[in-house]
């Protein structure tokens, strides 16, 4: 039986972070990966063709994250955040703080960090020849990306997430 959940709090979190989508300019690849780990829909624009980036942002209702002040000046039609720091933890902290959003715990680890696609659970037997033997023996839960076919399991790509999350969230939500 499911324990009674604190629906009031979970509704509040959903309201804050649901529907927030990003598009990141080429210099913010690491930040894109971290936003995906936290469950955000974070498209990464690898070219320097700013008009295309802007069109995609407006079409998909995505917030532009960039370090490029030149982009900011031209992006008046779209919502845009200029990232000020070089260090990815500080960048994440700025995004969460400036937009007053927080990750939804139920959505963390639900996206492929490489291509931003939603992951699907996959039966353990189906990954037998696709993951290292040690991993197969020690892990029970596996996920796969329907686009790039990458396999995920708790504790690898997601290793230091909780530590990093604590570092970035300290002082934001008190
Ligand atoms: Zn993928």
pLDDT in tens, 72-100: 888 877 899 999 999 998 999 999 999 99
**Domain spans of the chain, in order of start:** 19-109
Distance CA 167, CA 32 (A): 18
Say how far apart CA 78 and CA 9 lie, in whole Å: 30
CA of 120 to the centre of ligand 1 (A): 11
Distance 57 CA to ligand 1 centre (A): 21
For ligand 1, the distance from its centroid to the CA atom of residue 114, given in whole angstroms, is 5
**What is the CATH T-level fold of the domain 19-109, as seen in this structure?**
Rossmann fold (3.40.50)
The alpha carbon of 125 and the centre of ligand 1 are apart by a number of angstroms equal to 20
Report pLDDT digits (tens) over 136-172.
999 999 999 999 999 998 866 565 677 777 777 665 5
| C-alpha 4 to ligand 1 mean position (Å) | 34
- Distance between CA 102 and CA 15 in Å, rounded? 10
Ligand 1 centroid from CA 150, angstroms: 6
What's the gap in Å between 140 CA and the centre of ligand 1? 21
What are 44's strand-pairing partners?
A: 24
CA angle (46, 120, 19) in 5-degree steps: 60
Q: What is the pLDDT of residues 2-31, one digit of tens each?
A: 444 444 444 444 445 668 999 999 999 999
CA distance 56 to 22: 10
How many Å lie between the centroid of ligand 1 and the Cα of residue 118? Answer: 8
State in Å: Cα 121 to ligand 1 middle.
Answer: 13
Task: State the distance from the centre of ligand 1 to the C-alpha of 111, rounded, in angstroms.
Answer: 8
């Amino acid at each position: 039986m499911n324990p009674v959940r604190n629906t009031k709090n979970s509704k509040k979190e959903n309201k804050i972070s649901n529907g927030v989508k990003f598009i990141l300019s080429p210099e913010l690849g690491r930040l894109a990966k971290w936003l995906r780990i936290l469950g955000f829909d974070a498209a990464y624009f690898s070219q320097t063709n700013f008009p295309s980036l802007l069109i995609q942002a407006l079409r998909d209702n995505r917030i532009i994250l960039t370090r490029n002040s030149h982009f900011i000046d031209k992006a008046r039609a779209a919502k845009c955040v200029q990232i000020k720091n070089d260090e990815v933890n500080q960048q994440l902290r700025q995004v969460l703080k400036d937009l007053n959003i927080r990750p939804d715990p139920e959505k963390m680890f639900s996206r492929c960090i490489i291509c931003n696609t939603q992951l699907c659970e996959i039966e353990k037997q189906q990954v037998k020849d696709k993951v290292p033997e040690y991993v197969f023996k020690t892990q029970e839960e596996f996920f796969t990306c329907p686009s790039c076919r990458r396999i995920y399991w708790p504790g690898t790509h997601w290793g230091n997430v909780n530590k990093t999350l604590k570092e970035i969230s300290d002082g934001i939500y008190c």
